[in-house]
Structure 1
C-alpha cells in the first residue's frame, strides 16, 4: 500500500472490533507505543477444542461502568509488556479485526485493565504499519460519533442496577478519583449519583430532618454516601456528612474522622498518643518564641507548614536559621497557624503513600520529588512507583487510620535513619497516582468497603 492509499488518522479516532462484538470504541493512536492494548476486566483463561482461549469483559465507553460487552477470543501469545508508567505486566495477546472508516485489517491486542488510562484502547505502531498515516494535530479525522448513535450501539449492553443507592459527595465530577469511583460503583451493579457539596442543604427538624438538593429535591433514598471533601469545604462538607449519618445513611468516612484528619495539629496529637512515630514538631503563637521553636525541632533546615494546607500547598523548606526566623515571623504576622517540623534529610525527597481500606493495606507507592523540589508530590512534577513496605510501616499505616477513625485513608510515611516516621493521614486520598502504577482496582476496593459497611449496618 502506497502512502496515497493509507488512511490519515488523528491522535484519537473511533473504531470498531466487529469480531468481539464492539461496534464503537474510542482509540488513542500512539505511534510511540509498539503494541496495541484493549481495556479488559474479569479476564479468565479456558480451553476450547484443546486450544487456549480467554473470556473477558470490555467497558468500551470512557467513564461508563454500566455498559459492558462480554467477549471471547483465542489466545495467540502471552507476553510481558512495559506500560507508559514503566510497569511490566504479563498479558494475554489476542487477534481481532479492526475497522476504521472503510479500512479493515487484523491487529494483535494485549488485554489489560486500562481504568487508570484515558482511553479504552491504544493503537500502537505495529498495528498501523502499512495502513495508517498519523496527523497528531488532528482529532477524529475520520469523523465523530453522536451520543445517539453510541446509545443505539450499546442499549442492549447496559446493566440494570440491582445494587445499592450510593451518593458521591464531592465538588468536581470530572476529577479522576471521582470518575473512577463512579465507574467502579457502576461496574459493581450499583446506582451512584454525584452530589455537589455546594448544592446540598439541610433541614433541621426534631420530627422530620431532611437533606435537600438543588431544585428542592429531598435526598432520602441513599444506602451509602462516599464523602470526598476538598479542604476548603471541610466545615460545610462534614456538616452534610454528619447529617447523612443522623438520617441513618452509611458513610464511608464519618464526619468526625474527616474533621480530625484535617486538623493537622489535633491529628498529630492523637497519633503520638497512640504511640506512633512522627518527626519532631513544634507549635507556638508568640513571635518571641521563634528561636526556641527552631531549636526544639533540631534547628535548620526545617519545614514550616500551614495547618490548613493540603497536597503540598502551604509547606515550605527553610534551609537556614535566618530564613526560618523570617518565615515563621511572617506567617505569625498574618495570624496564620503553623507547625514547625524537623526536616528528615535522609529521605532524599521521597515518601511512601500507603492506601488503607477497612483496616487493610491495599497498595503502597513510593513518591519521588521533582528535581529541585523537596516535596514528593506528583501534582508538582514528582513521580510514583510501586514499593514493598516493611511490616513496621504496614503496622504504622493501619494504626494511623484506626486512630483517626478512617475506613479509607492515604497514610504518608518517610524513611528516617532511625526508622519510619508518620507525616500525615489523608481522608480523601487521590486515586490517580496510585492507580497509575498499580495493577489493582483501587476504586473497586472503596466500593467493596461500602458494600461491607452497608451489610454490617443492616445486620445490626
Structure 2
C-alpha cells in the first residue's frame, strides 16, 4: 500500500541532519524543479578520491551573523536559470532533508540566496510522491520556538572593536550595497548607508564638514566605501574628497574613481603601465575618419562614446560605410568617441576579474546571449566560473594598481594576440560574480578595510 502524502504549506520549517542544520525556513515552490540552498564561499575539494564541497550557510533569514560551515559530496555542476532570469553555474549535492516526520534524500543546488530572503527553496522534485502543497496555509508541520533556535545556533567569530563604516551610494536595495552592509555587520562593524543625494558639505579651512539631510553632521566615520553610479560621478567624488579631507579612510579614492571614469585617460594610463588593450583610435575632426578606421584595422569595428556607461553608447559597425556613418553622426553632435578594433576570435565572451587590495578574489566568464554581439564589453547573457591564467591575473592586478584602485572589476578579452584589457570599473557589481563563483566578495572588501586599520 503506497505511503500517504504529507500536506505542507507554502512556507515550512525543516532541517538537514547530515549538514547539522536543525532549523531552516523553506519557501515551497512547485514551479521550481530543483531545490536550492543558500550557500557562500563554496570550495570544491577531494575526499577519499571523490569530489566534495565546503560551503557556509547563514541558516536564519535576515541574520548574517550566524554561520554554519558544512561539507557534502558533489554530484554535479550545472547551469540553472533563476526566477529573475539570470543564468548561473551551480554546484549540486544530495543530502538528507527532514520535514515533519519524514526524512529522505533530496538533490539541492548551492547558490547565494541573500536577495531572495528565504535560505531554502523546496522544489517539486523533492516533493513528488511525498508531499502535497496547500498554498493558502503556512507552517502546517509546526514551528520551533525562539528559545530552541537561540539555544542551538551560536554566532560566528566577530571582529572585536568594530569600525564605523559608511556605504556611500544611491540605492540601499541594490544587491551589491545590501551585501556590503551585511558583510560588515557580520564581522561586527557598525554599518550605515549614506545616500549620496542626501549628503551635502561645508568647505572650511579649519572645520570642513559633511551633513546629512536633517542637519546631522557626519564626522565620526572610520571608513567609507564609495559606490558611485556613473551618472553622479562628479558629486559622488566631491563627497568622497570631502571625507578624505576629514581623514576618513576611503576604500577607493576620489582621484582613482575620477580617472577610471575617463575612458580615454584611463586607457592612456594603462598603456603607460604596460597593460595591452585592443588597438584604439581617437580623433577630433570628421576629416580624419577614413584614416581612423584604417588605424584600427578596418571594419568591423567598435565605436564608443567617451561619456557612455555600462555598455550604453557602444555601436558595432560591421562595414566601412556603416563605420563612417556612425562616426560622422557622433561627430556632428560634438560627441567625443573612441574607435576600437573588434576582437572577433573572442566569440562573444569576456572575463571579469574582481580585484580587492591587490589580489584577484574571483573571476567569471561572461557570454553574450544568442543573437547578440559583445562589443568588446559585457552586454548581458550568462556568467560562469572560469579558470584564469597567471598572465590574466597579473594584468588585472597591474591594471588596478595603475588606476590606484583598492577595489576594481577588470574586464579582459582573450584575443589571438593574448589577453587584452577592455575596461576597469571602480564600482563593480557583486550579484553576477558572487552568484557565479559563490565567493564572499563583500566580505573581502570589509577585510581590506580591517587590514588598513590593523596596519596603523
| TM-score, length basis structure 1 | 0.82
Aligned counterpart for 2:112 among listed residues 111, 114, 119: 114
Question: In structure 2, what is the equivalent of residue 257 of structure 1?
Answer: 256
C-alpha change, 1:86 and 1:306, in structure 2 (3 Å) is closer
Judge conservation of contact 2:411–2:421 (CA < 8 Å) in 1.
Answer: yes
The match for 1:105 is 102
Range moving further from structure 2, 387-396 or 115-124: 115-124
Query: Matched residue of 1:443: which SS?
Result: helix
Deviation at 1:173, TM superposition (A): 1.3
CA distance in 2, matches of 1:442, 1:322: 45
Once the two structures are superposed, residues 345-404 of structure 1 have per-residue CA deviations (whole angstroms, 9 ceiling, x without a partner) of 111111111111111111211111112222279985411112122222121111111001
| 1:226 Cα offset (Å) | 0.7
**Conservation of the 8 A alpha-carbon contact between 1:39 and 1:111:** no
- Answer yes or no: is the 8 Å Cα contact 2:352–2:412 preserved in 1: yes
2-structure distance, mates of 1:284, 1:152: 70
**Cα distance in 2 for residues equivalent to 1:235 and 1:450:** 24
SS at match of 1:328: helix
What is the 5 A alignment of 1:1-40?
Answer: 7=7, 9-10=9-10, 13-17=11-15, 25-27=25-27, 29-30=29-30, 32-34=32-34, 37=37, 39=39
2 CA distance for matches of 1:42 and 1:420?
27
Q: Distance in 2 between matches of 1:154 and 1:193?
A: 28
Q: CA offsets per residue over residues 244-295 of structure 1, 9 Å max, x none?
A: 1111111111000000100000101101111211111111222222222212
Cα distance in structure 1, aligned partners of 2:274 and 2:136? 61
Cα distance, 1:98 vs structure 2:
2.7
Change (3 A) 1:290 1:243: same
- How far apart are 1:30 and its partner, in Å? 4.9
Query: Partners in 2 of 1:111 and 1:227 — Cα distance?
Result: 33
Tell me, yes or no, if the aligned pair for 1:223 and 1:454 is still in contact at 8 Å: no
Q: Is the 8 A contact 1:87 1:437 kept in 2?
A: yes
Structure 1 residues 96 and 56: CA distance shift in structure 2, 3 A: farther
CA-to-aligned-CA distance 1:292-328 (integer Å, 9 cap, x gap): 2212211111101111222211111011111111111
Separation of aligned partners in 1, 2:182 and 2:297: 47
Note if 1:246 corresponds to 2:245: yes
- In 1, the alpha carbon distance for the partners of 2:69 and 2:422 equals 46
In structure 1, distance between residues paired with 2:12 and 2:199: 38
Equivalent residue, structure 2, for 1:398: 397
Structure 1 residue 105, shift from structure 2 partner: 3.1
Alignment match, 2:193: 194
Partner of 2:75: 80
Would the aligned equivalents of 1:359 and 1:401 in 2 still touch at CA under 8 Å? Answer: yes
1:242–1:255 Cα contact (<8 Å) kept = yes
Q: Match for residue 46 of structure 1?
A: none
How has the CA–CA distance of structure 1 residues 198 and 288 changed in structure 2, closer, same or farther, with 3 Å as cutoff?
Answer: same
CA displacement 1:378-437 (0-9 Å, x = unmatched): 985411112122222121111111001001111111111111111111101111111111
Once residues 302 and 55 of structure 1 are traced to their aligned partners in structure 2, the CA distance between those partners, rounded to angstroms, is: 44
Listed as ranges, the matches of 1:58-77 within 5 Å are 58-62=58-62, 64-66=63-65, 68=66
Are 1:431 and 2:426 matched, yes or no?
no
Unpaired runs of at least 5, structure 2: 44-53, 81-86
Q: Shift of the alpha carbon at 1:337?
A: 1.5
In 2, are the aligned partners of 1:231 and 1:308 still within 8 Å (CA)? no
Q: Counterpart in 2 of 1:204?
A: 203
Alpha-carbon deviations, 1:24-77, whole Å to 9, x = none? 62525256444553547799xxxxxxxxxx997534214x424x27699xx9x7
| Matches of 2:125 and 2:35, distance apart in 1 | 6
Q: Describe the SS at the equivalent of 2:214.
A: helix
Could you say if the C-alpha distance between residues 36 and 358 of structure 1 is closer, same or farther in structure 2, counting changes exceeding 3 Å?
A: closer
What residue number does 2:235 align with? Answer: 236
What is the rounded CA distance, in whole Å, between the counterparts of 2:389 and 2:436 in structure 1? Answer: 19
SS in 2 for 1:215: coil
Question: What is the deviation of 1:195?
Answer: 0.9
Greater shift in the superposed pair: 16-25 or 78-87: 16-25
Q: Distance in 1 between matches of 2:148 and 2:35?
A: 27
d(CA) in 2 for partners of 1:174, 1:106: 37
CA distance in structure 1 between the aligned counterparts of 2:351 and 2:238, rounded to whole angstroms: 31
The match for 1:350 is: 349
The 5 Å alignment of 1:237-316 reads 237-316=236-315
**Unaligned residue ranges in structure 1 (runs of 5+):** 44-53
- Measure the CA separation in 2 of the matches of 1:187 and 1:455: 18
Q: Is the 1:6–1:132 contact (alpha carbons within 8 Å) kept by the matching residues of 2?
A: yes
Check whether the contact 2:115–2:175 (CA below 8 A) recurs between aligned residues: no
- C-alpha distance in 2 between matches for 1:152 and 1:105: 24
Tell whether the 8 Å contact from 1:82 to 1:88 is kept in structure 2 after alignment: yes
- Corresponding position of 2:51: none
Q: What is the alpha-carbon distance in structure 2 between the residues aligned to residue 378 and residue 278 of structure 1?
A: 12
1:121-169 deviation line (CA, Å, top 9, x unaligned): 121335323443458xxxx63259xxxx999997887969851111111
CA distance in 2, matches of 1:386, 1:291: 41
With the length of structure 2 as denominator, give the TM-score of the two structures. Answer: 0.82
Alignment partners' CA distance in 1, 2:147 and 2:336? 57
| Secondary structure, counterpart of 1:277 in structure 2 | coil
Aligned to 2:47: none
